[in-house]
Amino acid sequence: MYYIVTGAAGFIGSNIVKALNERGETNIIAVDNLTKADKFKNLTDCDIADFLDKNDFIERLKAGHFKGLTTAVLHEGACSDTMETDGRYMMENNYQYSLTLLDHCQREEVPFLYASSASVYGGGGVFKESREYESPLNVYAYSKFLFDQVVRRRWSKRTSQIAGFRYFNVYGQREQHKGRMASVAFHFFNQFRADGYVKLFEGCDGYGNGGQLRDFVSVEDVVNVNMYFLDHPGKSGIFNLGTGKSQSFNDVAAATINTLRAEKGESALTLEQMHQQQLIRYIPFPDALRGKYQSYTQADITALRDAGYAGQFLTVEQGTANYVNHMLGKTK
């Protein structure tokens, strides 16, 4: 019997593979598309039973090769580029792929844990798992939104666990391959090391410079929630996966800078001191993002708590410090 992890060489997928390994699980089918070959590095410290290209995997799945062999499917594979404009590709890669896996898990009566996205809420200010608050702003968000609707329509006839997680702003180790789509913590770290300062967007939508608010959640917490549901196959639903608390981009920048300063034996600075010393600088808000940008997100995690998950989430300060120190260990 095998755990199937899609997007296994990607950011969240590889962290899930590692977490399964830490539980002693190595019967893992890792599925991904290595067109961007550098992603393989995320799996070099992981133990798996086999690696399959996504297209090969889908063909085998449809041919029944995994009948009776699946313990659970953890579906993290998707195109996560919110600026992607090829809607046909996005719908095939995100929506149709997910449907194929859902059908398999329902036939086999095995747990299906999948990645949804907080982007389904669009520019609204209420982040609660209910249809009236959902209004995607781009085709990536629409692909996630549409699959969630299918799950809801099939809900009463499900044969096994279905748990979808609307990830908010996830950051942490094993995301280096994502380039411009990597987290702001990753970019701030590299900017400060290279230039001695970090760049944030100027204000928009009524928020001050660097004051836009997001629910930043560490990948450690994301993995912990996935493992909790894997351990509780009787719990199903669509759940927000964030900390339940929004913090500003300024907070992430300050946490990054102060952690790097501490590594050099330098004292922590306030945000105002960072401004005075030009360690934080602001750049014009991109026209390409106007009308497509979430200036505020904050997960309502009531449903997650009601499902029994009681773990405490890392703050931006805690999670960013952990992440920066991890990157320092990799770069020294």
Element (H, E) at 60: helix 54-62
| 173 DSSP assignment | S
Query: In angstroms, rounded to a whole number, what is the distance separating the alpha carbons of residues 246 and 285?
Result: 20
Cβ-count burial of 285 within 10 angstroms (0-12 exposed, 13-18 middle, 19+ buried)?
A: middle
Query: In angstroms, rounded to a whole number, what is the distance separating the alpha carbons of residues 103 and 190?
Result: 42
Q: Which residues of 232-267 are buried (b: 16+ CB within 10 A; e: fewer)?
A: eeebbbbbbbbbbebbbbbbbbbbbbbbbbeeeeee
Annotated catalytic, 140? yes
- HEC profile of 259-308: HHHHHCCCCCCCHHHHHHCCCEEEECCCHHHCCCCCCECCCCCHHHHHCC
- Report the length, in residues, of the chain: 332
126 and 133 Cβ atoms separated by less than 8 Å: yes
Contacts of 206 (CB under 8 A, 6+ apart): 295
Of the listed 2, 3, 114, 140, which one is catalytic? 140
Of the listed 128, 178, 199, 245, which one is catalytic? 178
Q: What are φ and ψ of residue 269, in 5° steps?
A: -115, 155
Pairing of strands 112-117, 28-32: unpaired
Element (H, E) at 237: strand 237-241
CA angle 130, 134, 136 (to 5 degrees): 155
Catalytic residue numbers?
140, 178
